[in-house]
Amino acid sequence: MNTKIKTAEFVSPKHPDKQCDLIADTLLDAYLAGDQPEGPRSRVAVEVMGGHGHISISGEVTSGTDPDIPKIVRGIVGEGYAVHPYLTRQSPEIAHGVDTGGAGDQGIMTGYATRESPNFMPLEYELARNLCRKIYEKYPFDGKTQVTIEAGDGVPRVRTVVASFQNTKTADLLALTRSLIGADEYLINPAGEWGVGGFDADSGLSGRKIVIDNYGPEIGVGGGSFSGKDYTKVDRSGAYMARRIAVDYLGRFPEAREARVKLAYAIGKAEPVMAMVEVDGGEMTIEGYDLTPSGIYRFLELDKVRWAETAVWGHMGRGWRWG
């Protein structure tokens, strides 16, 4: 029997890294909200670090609006935090290449789709995400889940489930977890019950959970983070387009099990320098898509996206136009 052991983790929206992602994308939304329909769009690339009473925002922003950053941040993390913005305008050299329709940076993007789950996401990833969401509904605090499965020729088996959530009693969390997923082994609050979490317990950084933001550790990522970046940063928009293409190619080949997409861009250039798809290991050139940043923006209707909603619960497999 051909077996494979696979593990994926997920974190709740109150995890420090995810709080930073949420701040970054909420600020992006605030800048974009001030754009005029026919005018230039805001260029935003912000990184957020937080912890222990302080939130720092650093990056490059060129925009016609000036949102109240401390107010926005405190609306997410609460009063009592010192907010330190360190922002400058986008470099003129970078802006020149983007103004002509080119990519805002070089980079590699990957997309993936599999028939392991109804929304074409890896099964171990979906199990970890769904478990985390359901536990969070009852315990809306800092927390993590992890699921290990044994996949083979038959029905996949869940071997081990890990759940650690702030402000929970282990016996209660175990009972809830058992009701949500069957497994051979449960490790619940394995380091003990804990009441100090979030920014009180640890620091956070935006863009640090890129594997969770994508497909889990079994699927390679290009390396670029998503949150706090407008569509001209192709490490975000290109990754979304790669996912859409992967889902589309599964539709084109009904018997295929998985599709992997590879895109690569050069800064200031509109067309990708690589655009390939592998369907069950067989590689072919991608055709029939406008893969320029502006083409992706239009095709995926990114003007309709509220970016803060993408900052928690993962960026793929949630019903957006990219799949």
pTM: 0.95
Looking at the fold, whether 112 and 128 belong to one and the same domain comes out as no
Residue 126 above 80 pLDDT? yes
For the stretch 243-271, pLDDT in tens is: 999 999 999 999 999 999 999 999 999 99
CA-to-CA distance for 259 and 320, rounded, in angstroms? 18
Structure letter (DSSP) for residue 83: E
Residue 40 above 80 pLDDT? no
Residue 100 above 90 pLDDT? no
Q: What is the pLDDT of residue 7?
A: 98
Number of separate domains in the chain: 3
- The domain in which residue 39 lies consists of 17-93
Residue 318 above 80 pLDDT? yes
Tell me the residue type at 151: A
Mean pLDDT rounded to a whole number for the chain: 95
CA-to-CA distance for 323 and 301, rounded, in angstroms? 13
Looking up residue 22, the CATH number of its domain turns out to be: 3.30.300.10
User: Nearest Cα to 235, choosing from 246, 244, 226?
Assistant: 226
Q: What is the mean pLDDT of residues 127-137?
A: 98
- More confident position, 153 or 264: 264
Does residue 99 belong to any structural domain of this protein? no
Residue 1 above 60 pLDDT? no
Q: What is the pLDDT of residue 32?
A: 94
Q: What is the pLDDT of residue 308?
A: 98
Looking at the fold, whether 239 and 297 belong to one and the same domain comes out as yes
Q: What is the mean pLDDT of residues 55-77?
A: 96
Looking at the fold, whether 227 and 282 belong to one and the same domain comes out as yes
**Is the separation of the CB atoms in 120 and 323 below 8 Å?**
yes
Looking at the fold, whether 273 and 233 belong to one and the same domain comes out as yes
Please give the share of the chain, as a percent, with pLDDT higher than 70: 97
CA-to-CA distance for 46 and 216, rounded, in angstroms? 24
220 contact partners, CB below 8 Å, separation of at least 6 = 110
